[in-house]
């Protein structure tokens, strides 16, 4: 099986390469070779990328992911997360290629009190969330149910920038930390998501699904767990106090969902992958940093 992978240098793209099954060959089509902000050039870049090697599936992990900056850079966010995705979907349709596209819990407003099902009505409140929803809609309009959209949340990896690595740095530098305890979701190791994506690619699953690790946490819970696990692993040498604070004490340009827990049972069942609790995944990931 041959795959065209977009976004190989991102967290998920990197983990997809690390976990690539033996019978899959990955063709890379990456920035700056393909620049999602230059929408009119994407089709030709994709054509060039597959002209010698026809592919069975395109996996798109490339995205504008700077949630706060998106509030100021609306045009760039929409180009990358919406317009470029529409071109990608059109290319997949014209060439009969299966498309796997990654989306986010930010498509929901976070005011629900129980995990979001894939069928729940999106209502994004940030530019990032709105642009990602526009991308989802374009995929659905162009490919109907012939594409796979996986929404995920709170991704981290040993590769790239993320909450885990920021916390480890701050915990080493500072004497105390304040972390928001009002927003809850599920920390998700990108490696686990990558494994799920590969199963879906091989089964040619389509439709809209959710995937995160198992369990629920606030950012505060996550930070406490990072410190405890890192101390146990010898990645940190001192234990600092971590103070839970309300979101109002840490204002950000983008509005974040208070409740971003996704119901992923359908995809767990479809892939047959046993759900792993986020804390156990965190412990495993930290070993990569040792």
Ligand X SMILES: NC(=O)c1ccc[n+]([C@@H]2O[C@H](COP(=O)([O-])OP(=O)(O)OC[C@H]3O[C@@H](n4cnc5c(N)ncnc54)[C@H](OP(=O)(O)O)[C@@H]3O)[C@@H](O)[C@H]2O)c1
Give catalytic residues, as residue numbers: 128
3, 4, 5, 13: which one contacts ligand X (CB under 6 A)?
Answer: 13
Sites for ligand X among residues 40-69 (CB under 6 A):
61-65
| Residues 83-122 contacting ligand X, CB under 6 A | 102, 104
Q: How far is the CB of 285 from ligand X (least distance, A)?
A: 14
The nearer residue to ligand X, 240 or 273, going by C-beta atoms, is 273
Q: Which stretch binds ligand X (CB under 6 A): 10-18, 141-149, 262-270, 278-286?
A: 10-18
Q: Is 281 in the site for ligand X (CB under 6 A)?
A: no
Report the residue number whose CB is nearest to ligand X: 10
**What does the alpha-carbon distance between residue 172 and residue 289 come to, in Å, rounded to a whole number?**
14
Q: Pick out residues in 26-45 that bind ligand X (CB under 6 A).
A: 31, 34-37
Using the contact rule CB under 6 A, the part of the chain among 16-24, 149-157, 213-221, 271-279 near ligand X is 149-157
Which residues contact ligand X (rule: CB under 6 A)? 7, 9-13, 31, 34-37, 61-65, 80, 102, 104, 132, 152-155, 160
């Amino acid at each position: 099986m041959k795959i065209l992978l977009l976004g190989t240098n991102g967290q998920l793209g990197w983990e997809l390469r690390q976990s690539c099954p033996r019978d899959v060959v990955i063709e890379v089509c990456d920035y700056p070779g393909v620049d999602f902000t230059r929408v009119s050039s994407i089709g030709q870049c994709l054509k060039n990328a597959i002209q010698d090697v026809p592919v069975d599936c395109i996996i798109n992990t490339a995205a504008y992911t700077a949630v706060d900056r998106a509030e100021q850079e609306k045009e760039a966010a929409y180009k990358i997360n919406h317009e470029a995705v529409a071109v990608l979907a059109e290319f997949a349709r014209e060439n009969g290629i299966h498309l796997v596209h990654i989306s986010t819990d930010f498509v929901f407003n976070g005011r629900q009190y129980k995990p979001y099902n894939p069928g729940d009505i999106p209502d994004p409140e940030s530019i990032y969330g709105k642009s990602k929803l526009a991308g989802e809609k374009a995929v659905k309009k162009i490919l109907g149910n012939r594409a796979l959209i996986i929404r995920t949340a709170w991704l981290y990896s040993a590769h790239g920038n993320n909450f885990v690595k920021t916390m480890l740095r701050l915990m080493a530098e500072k004497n105390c930390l304040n972390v928001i305890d009002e927003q809850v979701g599920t920390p998700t190791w990108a490696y686990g998501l990558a494994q799920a994506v590969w199963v879906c690619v091989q089964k040619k699953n389509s439709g809209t699904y959710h995937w995160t690790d198992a369990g629920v946490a606030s950012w505060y819970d996550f930070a406490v767990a990072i410190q405890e696990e890192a101390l146990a692993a010898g990645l940190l040498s001192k234990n600092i106090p971590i103070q839970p604070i309300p979101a109002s004490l840490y204002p950000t340009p983008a509005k974040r969902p208070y409740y971003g827990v996704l119901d992923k049972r359908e995809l767990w069942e479809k892939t047959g992958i046993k759900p792993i609790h986020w804390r156990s995944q965190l412990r495993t990931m930290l070993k990569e940093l040792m």
